[in-house]
Chains A and B, each alone.
Chain A
Amino acid sequence: MALFYVLGLGVDPAQHATVETLQAAGACDAVYCAGLDRRQREFLARFLAPGAALIEARGAEGEAARNIGAKLSQGKTVGLATPAHPFYWNGLAGRIVGECVKGGVPWQTFGAVSAMGLAISKVGLTLGTDIFGLQSFDAAALAARPVVLNPEWPVVIYFYAPLAPKDYDRTLKALGAFFPAAHEAYWCSTADILKTSVGALISGAKRDFRKLVPSTVLFLPAKAAGASPLESSGSAESKVPVPRAPEWIRG
């Protein structure tokens, strides 16, 4: 019987893929993947069942959706794996799930480590103690549309959608319109965290663009005090919680 798995491998698949996601991949007759480089595809292939196909979902979304739909109509178990989570990677998973719902094909997904989760691990801020809200946006969205930002919450920016250099510039401009140049910013990768500022990001855009990978995450602390009006510690001044653990934050 056909079954569709929506498989999120987390921000950095080799680190963040979960056991249940990989087990589900291992139960598939075919796994389509998008956004994985060669090493990541080799890594995922280790967990597939013998004889199961790992297929890159190339081309337009419509074509990829048709190919996956054709496999499902053969009664196969099919997975779609992307970094992060397919519902956030692009529109393909949503399109296929919509078809599954119409056609009565069961589908299943699991949580995946997100840019938000990675960011707060890296900077060491506790949600519900240090901060009472968090907002996370794809860089391309910030470049393309006026996004409502809450000044009391930190901002996390991720880079799932393909970005041209001018889009990256627009993203930084959007941040610059909201945060002053001296405002702290943190460049997070799985292995490292680098402290910088909004101004430095803007001035170093051309250089930094070349370093961008899908697992790059930017973290900007809140602009305004973010203590909960109900849970404040009672101090007269509410300070903006800043990332801790200065020993491992470079820069």
Chain B
Amino acid sequence: MDKGLTVENQIKLLGLDDVEANFGCLLELPSCGGLENALAKIGRRRGAGKAESLALRGKILTLLYRYPQARETLESVVDLDPRLARARAWLGELNLLEGRFEEARAELGRALALENLPWARFHLAAAFAGLGKKSETRQELERARKLAGAGHPAAAAAEALGGLLEAQERRWDSAAKALGRCVAALPKSGWPYALRARIRKAQGDMGECLKDYRSALERRPEIWLYLERSRIHEEMGDIDRALEDVDGALRLDPRRADLYRRRSHLQVCRRHYHLAAPDCSKALELEPRNAAIALERAMVNSIRNRPDLALEDAALAERLSAGEAGILIEVIRLRISSGKLEGQLRAIERLRAKSADYAGAADFLLGCYRLKSRDFRKAAKAFALVKGGAAEGDLSRKAGFYGVVASALLDQPGGGSCAPGPIPLGRSRLNIIGLGVHPPYSASLETLRAIASCDLIFNNLSEPEIAGLLGLLAPECEPTMYDVRGADSRWTAAIFDKLKPGMTVGFVTRGHPLVCGGLAHSLMEEAERKGGVEYRIYGSISSMNSLAARALPPESGGHWGEQVMFYSSFLSPGFRAEARVPSVLYFLSSVQTIDRAGYDAFYSGLERLYSKEHPCYFYGRTFNMAPELLALRELKELHGKLDCSYTLLLPAKEGAGSR
């Protein structure tokens, strides 16, 4: 760059006149590489031009987020030449970026007194916005728009800020229109689309929101844009797209640990814990002294029921954390869960002694310790202290859950204990346990007692809370079984391999083990074939029970029965059913390939029972989601669109009458 160029020309060459305001989260930047080069090229001039060059350095340092250096530089320029308006304006902008709104206002006021700069006018409006002075903000925005003129980036920025103010007042339409004008003024810039995307999100218009993010990314792919869109996809439940965005961000910078952590988090959301662990490892490789990452990997390994790895990572997190309480709490919990109880009581008391703020956490950990030690009475007491204390949110919720678990495992009223009785000599025991459709919260007391009576647990549940529960109730857990579908014989062999005489082994699954349950069926058959194995099935809330509870009752009266049907039942000649009670209808995998004639026969069977307008509640792949409400006649057109993951709830026919 020619060092003889005026500051204005230098600004133009660097594209700095295209730089818009940062509201603490947004900046349109030339690439960092370009700015670094520019910084290197700007000479440290002596004599005339020194102040202008230094001011430019200060501005570029601001753009590079090196705020302390930028401040030092710009303040020295103001000392050197108090009448250099641009330096004051850039110092004012820096104050704005750091949230020092009053100082920003003052400095920008001084800059504007020297020279009427459009950007300074705009930044002054932003400072007033930060101070909550709405009418001053609007006034300055209007001045900035007039001063800059149509087409100037500062005018577009003023439109944007105006839009954000409208958004603050929840006037979404006018906010979106203002951002639309900004988009039109700067068609090549990405940030106006990003701002409008946020407005659209606040409006709940996710379709337009995602379109705007796409437009923003097409114009300038930025890591923060990918991350914002990734979070939106995650909120919408589209984890695959959320992951794609993280991959997009990683292509821009593959050396950012936070991106690997984000990807690991999303793999956990998808329950792909075996994929989450390597991402944690990569993040740790990039930030080897980050205790939080070590702890995250410990928790992933714990969820995978790999206590050996979880404990190693917990020890690493503890070493790196230098006694930070948040890390310590999770480390103690992991150790207790893994059965490493020695020294943990002392660790809990040391945590409690740190501060009264940690009393709730200490009581929670004490409850976990007691639970693992099978002292259910003391466990219940400890968890009750957490609930009653000042602990909020997640800890209180967990303490409430475990408090019930501990109470359930106390001796039952009228005698009895959680142990089902000794195993006859030479035999082993297999507990086949269902934790309901919303595990572990839908677990029944009987199933909790069954788990606590096991020596070893197998499970195929991917919810993270399951690992915590099983870790505290069972002495030993096998790694979580993935890919159980279609692998019954392999897992049956693995479970029976562990069933030694005198042992109780448990297989824990979701729902009711005998409702559409393949592996439970295999296990029973094997037990009967082999002999010498006592088995017991602990049923719990199945989808049919969960849905039946939602079978909206008639206004007066309750149900006097219920039915569970498979769609194939309707194909049997002479099929009969009782339509005056709620029915749950399952689809088998064959529904995907049934021909039109067969499907029509199924539909006709339904029409014989119910009217065409009979409400049908259509549940997707999880039974805790809100169903889609259809009229019966709409089912006719679903041939080829169904699979075995769908379930239908048919309420009782009207006029069923009361009990």
Contacts and interface: CB of A to CB of B under 8 A. Distances in A.
Output the residue of A39, A47, A110, A248 with the most chain B CB within 10 A: A110
Contacts of A228: 566, 568-569, 588
B558 A87 contact: yes
Nearest to B520: A126
B553 A111 contact: no
B524 A245 contact: yes
B419 interface: no
Nearest to B560: A141
Contacts of A113: 444, 539-541, 545
Contacts of B438: 20, 110-111
Contact of A148 (B448, B536, B559, B576): B576
Given A94-B553, A97-B553, A148-B577, A128 B545 contact: no
A114 B562 contact: yes
Contact of A87 (B414, B541, B549, B569): B549
B445 A15 contact: yes
A85 B549 contact: yes
Interface residues of B, number: 80
Q: Name which of B440, B542, B550 has the most chain A CB atoms within 10 A of its CB.
A: B542
B516 A19 contact: no
B436 A18 contact: yes
Contacts of B405: 19
Contacts of A221: none
A88 interface: yes
Interface string B394-419: 00000011001101100011100000
Interface stretch (A70-78, A131-139, A169-177, A206-214): A131-139
A120 interface: yes
Given A87-B549, A94-B556, A117-B540, A22 B514 contact: no
A14 B512 contact: no
B413 A229 contact: no
A39 B413 contact: yes
A95 B556 contact: yes
A150 B576 contact: yes
A244 B560 CA distance: 28
B569 A18 contact: no
B571 interface: yes
A231 interface: yes
Nearest to B400: A23
A10 B444 CA distance: 9
Interface of A: 6, 8, 10, 14-20, 22-23, 26, 39, 42-43, 46-47, 50, 85-95, 97-98, 109-114, 116-118, 120-122, 124-130, 132-138, 140-141, 147-153, 161, 190, 228-231, 244-245, 247-248
Q: Sorted from nearest, which 4 A-B pairs have the closest CB atoms?
A: A111-B546, A121-B539, A94-B553, A141-B560
9 contacts: A16-B445, A18-B442, A23-B441, A88-B548, A97-B552, A126-B520, A127-B515, A150-B569, A231-B590
